[in-house]
Chains A and B, each alone.
Chain A
Amino acid sequence: MNVDWLLTHSPALLIAIPLLAAFLTPVIDRINKKARDAFVIIVLIIAEIIMIALAWDVFTGSAHIYTMGASNPTATIPSQAAVPIRIVLEVDGMGAFMGLISTTVSLAAGFYSLAFVKKETGQGRYYTLLLLMLVGMLGMEFTGDIFNLFVFLEVLSMASAALIAYRFYYGDAVEGAFKYCVVSSLGALMVLFAIGLLYGQYDLLNMAALAKVIEYTTLDKIALVLLIAAFAMKCGAVPMHMWTPDSYTVAPAPITAMLVAASQASLYALFRICFSLYGLTLDVTTVGIIIIALGLLSMFVGVTMALPQKDIKRLMSYHAVSQTGYMLLGVGVGLYLLGKSDFDTYGMAAMEGGIFHIINHALYKGLLFLTAGAIFYKVKTRNLNEMGGLAHSMKFTTIFFMIGALAIAGIPPFNGFASKLLIYESAYHVSPILSIIAMLVSIITLASFVKVFHSAFMGPPMENAEAGEVPKSMIIGMAILTVGIILFGLFPGWVVSNIVHPAAQALAAQAGYIGSVAGGA
């Protein structure tokens, strides 16, 4: 089992290992609880290591193709057929980039969960579902088959819905989970309907092969509308954001961090559909403007709804909606300029900004949700008016919260600044108003987090709260994400040119995506 073998098979291994672990966890759970915890953490670490190796290989080399069940992983088209009919995993720069986010957030959430759910019942199932969420995310990000995308979307949604309702004795948790379940299953059915429309016309399910022949007929337009609406709903863009605050608020904190990554997997699917499946056959101007409008609406509505919130997690959830807007804006500008003469100058920068913001957001919003969970763990309330003076007893949590809050507000030298600057600069060339709104939203975000910081951490110590810091494993979980934030903030240039640029390039270059699977664009 050498490194080459591992790299060749890593796309399939990354899905197979967490899936196998998910089914083994209940079995190990019956034998020994400690062994189960160790097993889950080891699997998450293995997934992270394989993912980093795979991502490095993709960023420095070319996309990885993996054909399930073929005699050779790169034999996408069987000898008797003219088109790819097997399930093909295609890990290009963008897929590897998203995979890094998913595995990192899962690792942090896994560590954090060790202490966070220690007193709950049914932990075996909790970890099973957590691993299934990871499988769903990685599957969505790696797959080159549009029906497979639907299947993994459903795996992800069902695991998330069950985990949102994990603390069912709160009642409102089940309410949030039901809402999430209704929204995500309707969204997924729309995706399936769109897949049916595409299959009915072209007899193909492979995205690269579809992209080669797609013509943008009326039916394709209907399919596109369904796909964009469904995935925008799943990533929590305004006006389909109503489920986001409800389900983010009630989910256990590590799951909320995972849900952020899960929303971004949907965002990835949205971009993949627009750029790689339809590409230049699209009316890029109209669709670009629609995505930019969705982004602006999300940014503005999200942040204004966040201001009056008293529930700390609900407030952060609205900020998550608002930050999703930045990604939509950045990549929307890229789509708007796709194929135009300005693309290489501003369009690429906008896409890099939007894509860089995805990983930044996963890190700092994940961290912020984890600190909110740490606060809840100690003071047993999410109401900002009932807490205060936590800086006296929770030193680490305070520092982590400050780093997260400064990063989300886009204060240098943290990572939020780097990606927001890229978005401001490039969006300015499309219309100055875009940049002005984006900056305004950023300022309101800062104001909102100053309020949270003041009411939660400042002031005299609370009398009725449990004193002391949260358990070590929760600190490790938060520290993983904090290290990421600081590194990305200190070396944004290196990150953009080595990680973000290949991802943006992979999205923008449709011919490369098609060529590596279906041969000749």
Chain B
Amino acid sequence: MSEKTNGNSEGLSPIVKVISGMIFPFIMIFSFYVIMHGHLTPGGGFQGGAIGASAIVMLIVAFGARHTEKRAGEEKLSLFESIGGTLFILVAILGFIMAATFMSNFLVGSAIFGEIPPFGSNPGILNTGGILPILNFAVGMKVIGGLSAVVLAMALVSKEDD
């Protein structure tokens, strides 16, 4: 373990590296939870994405920008962001084809997220919302990729000075 994480001299102490490596998956799962419950609870694509991006920023702080760049480069993160954006627009455009207008909620009534919840208080039925969960997911991808790429790029640019 120590061999692997001590491979690079930059970043913080091994303790921080190991711990942040351990909690990284949990933060990502929480981020995914917030994104996928966006249509039921406070939160959604941007908030969940910001949580996910903060996990990657934590890695940047712990392991150093150059090391993170090798593992999850800015290019890769930007690509991830582009895929999120493309998915969003494609779902919106599907509204033309599957239903009447741009961004129509064509999934309502279908098997995927199509359930119509009863009016008033409910315990939170996940299989609702039509295209909203998918759009939330796309936004989440975009925000994770975009925000962490921004922070990574800034960290790398500041490193150029020394």
Contacts and interface: CB of A to CB of B under 8 A. Distances in A.
Interface of A: 9, 12-13, 16, 19-20, 22-24, 26-27, 30, 66-73
Given A24-B82, A30-B79, A19 B89 contact: yes
B6 interface: no
Contacts of B90: 20
Query: Which of A23, A30, A67, A73 has the most B CB atoms < 10 Å from its CB?
Result: A23
Contacts of B86: 20, 23-24, 27
A71 B104 contact: yes
B83 A9 contact: no
B82 A27 contact: yes
A69 B89 contact: no
B79 A71 contact: no
Interface stretch (B11-19, B59-67, B91-99, B110-118): B91-99
B100 A20 contact: no
Nearest to B104: A69
Given A24-B86, A27-B79, A30-B79, A16 B100 contact: no
Given A27-B79, A27-B83, A68 B89 contact: no
A327 B95 CA distance: 39
A71 B102 CA distance: 10
Contacts of A20: 86, 89-90, 93
Interface of B: 75, 78-79, 82-83, 85-86, 89-90, 92-93, 95-96, 99-105
Given A19-B89, A23-B89, A69 B79 contact: no
Contacts of B82: 23-24, 26-27
B78 A68 contact: no
B83 A69 contact: no
Nearest to B92: A16
Contacts of A30: 75, 79
A13 B89 CA distance: 11
Nearest to A71: B100
Nearest to B87: A23
Nearest to A5: B96
Nearest to A19: B89
Contact of A70 (B78, B83, B89, B101): B101
Contacts of A9: 96, 101-102
A22 B88 CA distance: 12
A66 B79 contact: no
A73 B103 CA distance: 11
7 contacts: A26-B78, A27-B79, A30-B79, A69-B104, A70-B101, A72-B101, A73-B101
Contacts of A70: 100-101, 104
A30 B92 CA distance: 25
A69 B93 contact: no
B83 A12 contact: no
A391 to B, nearest CB: 43
Contact of A71 (B75, B78, B85, B99): B99
Given A12-B101, A20-B86, A73-B100, 12 more contacts: A12-B96, A12-B102, A19-B85, A23-B82, A26-B79, A27-B86, A30-B79, A66-B101, A66-B102, A67-B101, A68-B102, A69-B104
A78 to B, nearest CB: 13
Contacts of B105: 69
Given A69-B95, A69-B101, A23 B79 contact: no
A22 B78 CA distance: 13
A69 B78 contact: no
A30 B73 CA distance: 14
A68 B79 contact: no
Contacts of A68: 101-103
A160 B79 CA distance: 22
B139 to A, nearest CB: 12
A16 B101 contact: no
B114 to A, nearest CB: 16
Contacts of B95: 69
A426 to B, nearest CB: 40
Nearest to B89: A20
Contact of A16 (B79, B99, B102, B104): B102
A16 B93 contact: yes
A90 B105 CA distance: 21
A164 to B, nearest CB: 18
Contact of B100 (A13, A19, A23, A72): A72
B86 to A, nearest CB: 5
Contacts of B75: 30
Query: Which of B79, B82, B86, B92 has the most A CB atoms < 10 Å from its CB?
Result: B82
